[in-house]
Structure 1
Amino acid sequence: MATIFQRISLIVKSNVNELLDRFEDPEKIIDQCIIDAKEEYSTLLKDTASVKGNLSVAREKLKKIQDSRAQWQSIAEKAVKAGNDNDARKALQKMTEDKAQEESQAIVVAKCEEAADKAVAALNSFADQIHAMEMKKSELKSKAIAARSQEKANAIKSRNMAGSLSKFNEMAEKINANLATQEAMAELTGASDKEEEDLIAKYSSPDVDDALAELKRQMGLE
């Protein structure tokens, strides 16, 4: 009997441990756990049937002993009525032997009944656990899919954003720095060109007095 109860306590633990060890494909493992549990249930069912079979044998043996004791008691009573004390003594001796066997066999039957009750209770408990696993299967599969999707999303976000965003920011800084440099150079260059233009304009403008004198000369007024 210890083997039966040990199987019941270990089967769920082993299935859970297997699920944790091979979490890479939880949906298939959940299905396999239920298959394994049902196979174990079939084994427990056979063991329970064997225990109940032993109870039936023990009860049948007890009944035979009781029938034998009743038969010898009847013989003893008939022998007394017939005035045959010797036969009555022999019958009573047999009846006493049967009574001792009956008491011993009654103890065996009681133990077999206790064992059968425990086996049936354990079997029913195991059946309830299998039913609970089947009821929970869809929910667990949905959660596993959600967890795997979230895991992939996190991996994508971590890989792409961490690398690409960092490089993007680095390039943005370089571009901004380069633009600022070019704008500063443009300002400096522009200032220098303006000074040159101002100087040329200042000293390259035509003399109005000279132009007026030349015009009068051409008109013969001088």
Structure 2
Amino acid sequence: MSRLKLYLAPGTCALAVHIALHEADAGHELALVNFAASQQRSPEYLAVNPKGRVPALVTEQGVLTETPALLLYVAQLFPAAQLAPLDDLFALARMQECNNYLASTVHINHAHRPRASRWADEPEAIAGMQRKVAQNMTENFRYLEQTYLQNGPWVLGERYSVADGYLYTVGDWLASDGVDIRDFPAVYAHRERVLQRPAVQRALATAQLPKAS
């Protein structure tokens, strides 16, 4: 099997895919994209992903993008790692339900703070969207806690999956959005469990841009 190459920017949702690759013990190359230097808009990166966003995963069949798609791809490519309930259609759909909620609702609500200019040009409109972020993220994580973390230590109960690394990744944005993760005891406990996993520690240790000298 050819080596995979993951394009990742620190602090982004691409970390969830990086965690999945480490959980699967998948040989891969990591390419760090410096958003502060606008590398995501460089011709070199746009040739990889014309969207100018991360993650992007280079495979022997081509480039894949979008976090839920990449998480499922890794889980299917390395079934022995048991990162998705591939033998249970309902549980698999439940995992995808959570992953798509994180991508389509929670991530978008978070993005209204640092990326409000995507949706408006007027300063007053941007400020209004940014003021709403903490409330929206609070509602989102209250829903996540009540829906996915009441029946076991992981999103799928007793079974760890790629959804757990994804939930951890998005939950790590709460502080910057003015929300205290400790307001959600089950989410906070889940975060601490995820952090104890060796694969997660390896992913975190390698997902940092080198410091300027």
- Report the TM-score range of the alignment, normalised by the length of the smaller protein: under 0.3
Report which of the two has the higher share of strand.
2
> Considering only CA atoms, is the larger Rg found in Structure 1 or Structure 2?
1
TM-score, normalising length: structure 1? 0.25
TM-score, normalising length: structure 2? 0.26
Report which of the two has the higher share of helix.
1
